Amino acid sequence: MSNFAFGTYRISEHNPQHIQALKLAIQSGITMIDTSSNYMNGSAERAIALVFKDFEEDILEDVEVVSKFGYIQNDNMARHKENPFDEVVEYSENCFHCISQSFIEDQLGKTLARLEMQTLDCYLIHNPEYYLLDAINRGIEKDERLDEMYKRLFDAFMALELAVQNGNIKSYGISSNSFSKARTDEEFLPFDDLLTLAEDAAGEIGNDIHSFTTIQLPINILETEGLKCASWAKKNGLRVLVNRPLNAQYEGLMYRLADYDESRDYYAHFNELMDVCDNDTLRSMFNLLEQLDDNKHKFGWIGDYDSFLYSEIIPHMKKSVELIDEENKETMLNYIDMFLTEYRKMVEYECSKSTKVTLKDYFLKCSTSMQECAIKFLSQRDNVDYILIGMRKPRYVSEVMTLLD
């Protein structure tokens, strides 16, 4: 039966709820924490270090930290523009990627510093398939791009084997979305030869055995192609970490596999804010609120709303707030905050209703919540060792631990 790991995507050292959730997870028996150098621009790693200060060494000995590298974003992007890294894949304007030996050495040093550790338990190459995706876009032939992909992975494995030799990491592996693609898919990352590459890299560095131990990939009740990779991994003595257990792709769309309750306080906060905005000065805000209320059931999944919130809603509201005098601005911000908190709950509720209808065939035999059925599906897979779940609030930790029971 699989165990749960604490996923730190969107975890910040500055959020008290995140810190409390991580503490509670360790107290509740969680033995693995998954993070990455690009999660909140390194803040997730610093949050782990902050939490670890509250625990005795004998407890932390049982908690494994897995981190990842590869993305060039935020601070790394600024550094790259000043002093370019080697062999960078410029995939999009805001997302570059790199797995060169010099980049690995640089990133590992920064990760260890943020975590305040001398040795990292496991270090994963984070989505190395960005090279393949870029090569496909550039029209490079399949055999040529795969040869270059293997070369880059071999060079990275040598750097990681050296890090093992130097005592900076205990083991390494790969986290890849492309492990979950069909073999016929152009974006599929072949995994059959990875252990040969690791053995050759270990030999080149002078290690008796390789330290490639772990793969991470998306698998869920809708996306099961990755079970083939998981089966290969277990047959070869590797452990399997599954991400996105509740965020699933189906026919090109994303769905959150979870049930949510309707907000009891939404209409009170909505009507309160509408009353405040029912004047000429805030007419634009008033109209926006009407549109949001009318369209709360039209988001495909909660991720669509989150993107829309930061790209459209908040900038619009910010302009309206600037029209308010300083004396009333703080009160207005409180009204907005309470509304947005409850509005998100309503979007989650509406999304879960439509998801249950769209995916009814997958949950026909589900007598409990969608999340319980989705987790049960994974926990019963013999080839899955850890299920990575985001637990940004203490109550999420409690809910997850109840599922484990």
Query: What are the structure tokens assigned to 250, written together?
Result: 């189906």
Strands (DSSP E) along 142-185, which ranges? 169-175
CATH label of the domain that carries residue 149: 3.20.20.100
Is 147 among the domain residues? Answer: yes
Q: What is the count of structural domains for the chain?
A: 2
Q: What values do phi and psi take at 172, rounded to 5?
A: -150, 175
Q: What pLDDT, on a 0 to 100 scale, did the predictor assign at position 1?
A: 46
Query: What are the structure tokens assigned to 229, written together?
Result: 């990779």
Q: What pLDDT, on a 0 to 100 scale, did the predictor assign at position 370?
A: 94
Q: Please indicate, yes or no, whether residues 97 and 239 belong to a single structural domain of this protein.
A: yes
> Which range marks the domain in which residue 320 is found?
266-358
| Distance of alpha carbon 187 from alpha carbon 218, whole angstroms | 14
How far from 242 is each of 142, 160, 247, 377, 403, CA to CA, in Å? 27, 22, 12, 12, 16
Is 363 among the domain residues? Answer: no
Q: What values do phi and psi take at 114, rounded to 5?
A: -65, -40
Q: Please indicate, yes or no, whether residues 300 and 394 belong to a single structural domain of this protein.
A: no
- Burial of residue 49 (CB within 10 Å: 0-12, 13-18, 19+) is middle
Q: Please indicate, yes or no, whether residues 296 and 243 belong to a single structural domain of this protein.
A: no
Q: Please indicate, yes or no, whether residues 193 and 308 belong to a single structural domain of this protein.
A: no
Query: What are the structure tokens assigned to 196, written together?
Result: 């040969």
Q: Please indicate, yes or no, whether residues 317 and 393 belong to a single structural domain of this protein.
A: no
Q: What pLDDT, on a 0 to 100 scale, did the predictor assign at position 405?
A: 62
Q: What pLDDT, on a 0 to 100 scale, did the predictor assign at position 347?
A: 97
Q: Please indicate, yes or no, whether residues 46 and 144 belong to a single structural domain of this protein.
A: yes
Is 200 among the domain residues? Answer: yes
Is 236 among the domain residues? Answer: yes
* Segment-wise mean pLDDT, segments of 10 residues, the chain, 405 residues: 86 96 95 96 97 95 97 94 94 93 97 98 98 96 96 98 98 98 96 97 98 98 97 97 95 93 96 95 95 95 93 94 90 95 96 94 90 93 95 91 75
- Burial of residue 147 (CB within 10 Å: 0-12, 13-18, 19+) is exposed
Of 343, 213, 324, nearest to 279 by C-alpha is 324
Number of CB atoms found within 10 A of residue 1's CB? 9
Q: Please indicate, yes or no, whether residues 44 and 110 belong to a single structural domain of this protein.
A: yes
Q: Please indicate, yes or no, whether residues 232 and 286 belong to a single structural domain of this protein.
A: no
Q: Please indicate, yes or no, whether residues 288 and 196 belong to a single structural domain of this protein.
A: no
| Distance of alpha carbon 219 from alpha carbon 377, whole angstroms | 10
Is 98 among the domain residues? Answer: yes
How many helices (H) and strands (E) the chain has is answered by 16, 13
How far from 299 is each of 226, 227, 247, 258, 362, CA to CA, in Å? 28, 30, 15, 15, 21
Is 333 among the domain residues? Answer: yes
Is 8 among the domain residues? Answer: yes
Q: Please indicate, yes or no, whether residues 53 and 162 belong to a single structural domain of this protein.
A: yes
Q: What is the model's pTM?
A: 0.91
Is 92 among the domain residues? Answer: yes
Q: Please indicate, yes or no, whether residues 178 and 55 belong to a single structural domain of this protein.
A: yes
| Distance of alpha carbon 397 from alpha carbon 21, whole angstroms | 6
Q: Please indicate, yes or no, whether residues 339 and 372 belong to a single structural domain of this protein.
A: no
